[in-house]
Amino acid sequence: MAETTTKKKAAAKSAPAIKMIRIQYFRSKNSTPLKHKLVVKGLGFTRLNQVVERVDNESIRGMVKAIPHLVRILED
């Protein structure tokens, strides 16, 4: 039994860390097109100056690229 737990721990340590991206919502979505508002909601923002952490993949990068005037990337 001890052997299986050591294998699990070894597998957990060797697994690559998931790359994350921190995004801040710093400009209001008022007076923006509906598509922009939906992207802000899709990223999970609920209030101004909120910071969220999302998985760094192409879909999230594309959403951020669609509304660069409303959000900023805090860390890469």
Instruction: Return per-residue pLDDT of the chain as tens, 76 residues.
Output: 566 666 666 655 667 889 999 999 999 999 999 999 999 999 999 999 999 999 999 999 999 999 999 999 996 5
pLDDT of residue 35: 97
Taken in order of first residue, the domains within the chain and their CATH numbers are: 19-75 (3.30.1390.20)
pLDDT of residue 16: 82
- CA distance between the termini of the chain: 41
pLDDT of residue 7: 61
Q: Are 54 and 44 in contact (CB under 8 A)?
A: yes
Q: Are 25 and 70 in contact (CB under 8 A)?
A: yes
Contacts with 73 (C-beta within 8 Å, 6 or more apart), sequence order: 21, 22, 23, 64
CA Rg value for the chain: 18
